[in-house]
């Protein structure tokens, strides 16, 4: 084992440090975020900073890095209030990764990367047709993080499209059956394999497998 102090980390090459810190925390949630600008142009970008906020009501959050360059996704969310999360599977990994390129504002990543926008009557933002799971959200709150100038956006789920057979009787959604991929760092993509699902932990109850 080797220990890296804060001083060690801060004196690393910037690109090396970014890759290191992004990957050392482990696997992260991976989604394509679909938005629409005020001119009606579709936008699509890959994100690995999406997290659960609450279930009643259903809220999800996402983190935006400091606003040093144009953030088309954030701008579109704040203007139109609607956006979508779309799971990434193995069949669209390369197209999804390509959406991270800095395309001009007038260019749709759907067109540039070979993905297909599709729409719901409940959300003006585009879904990704090729995705196995689509989630529509409505903007609720923007939080400015003073510590490092990042921005957290909180949205409420409006609807979810998913394969019905992958949803269990107790509400557990099987990501492996949906072939949802995950990511480590900014560019290493992985397929998942469930080890086991365990019972709700209680002090007086033994941990046991439930499926």
Position 199 in a domain:
no
Q: CATH code at 82?
A: 2.30.110.10
Position 106 in a domain:
yes
Position 172 in a domain:
yes
Q: Which domain holds residue 175?
A: 15-190
Could you give the number of structural domains in the chain? 1
Position 207 in a domain:
no
Position 21 in a domain:
yes
Position 208 in a domain:
no
pLDDT digits (tens, 9 = 90+) for 89-138: 999 999 999 999 999 888 999 999 999 999 999 999 999 999 999 999 99
Predicted model pTM: 0.92
CA–CA gap between residue 16 and residue 97 (Å, rounded): 20
Burial of residue 137 (CB within 10 Å: 0-12, 13-18, 19+) is buried
Cβ partners under 8 Å of residue 17, min gap 6: 9, 10
pLDDT digits (tens, 9 = 90+) for 42-83: 999 999 999 999 999 999 999 998 765 567 899 999 999 999
Position 154 in a domain:
yes
Position 4 in a domain:
no
């Amino acid at each position: 084992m080797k220990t890296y102090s804060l001083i060690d980390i801060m004196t690393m090459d910037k690109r090396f440090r970014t890759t290191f810190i992004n990957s050392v925390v482990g696997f992260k949630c991976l989604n394509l975020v679909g938005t629409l600008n005020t001119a009606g142009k579709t936008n699509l970008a890959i994100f690995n900073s999406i997290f659960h906020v609450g279930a009643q009501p259903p809220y999800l959050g996402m983190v935006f890095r400091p606003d040093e360059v144009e953030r088309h996704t954030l701008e579109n969310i704040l203007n139109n209030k609607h956006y979508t999360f779309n799971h990434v599977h193995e069949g669209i990994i390369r197209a999804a990764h390509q959406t991270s390129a800095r395309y001009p504002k007038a260019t749709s990543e759907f067109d540039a990367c070979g993905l297909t926008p599709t729409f719901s009557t409940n959300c003006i933002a585009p879904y990704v047709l090729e995705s196995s799971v689509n989630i529509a959200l409505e903007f609720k709150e923007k939080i400015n993080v003073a510590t490092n100038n990042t921005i957290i956006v909180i949205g409420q789920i409006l609807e979810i499209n998913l394969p019905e057979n992958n949803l269990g009787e107790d509400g557990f959604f099987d990501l492996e059956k949906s072939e949802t991929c995950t990511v480590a760092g900014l560019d290493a993509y992985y397929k998942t394999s469930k080890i086991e699902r365990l019972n709700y932990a209680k002090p007086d109850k033994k941990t046991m497998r439930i499926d």
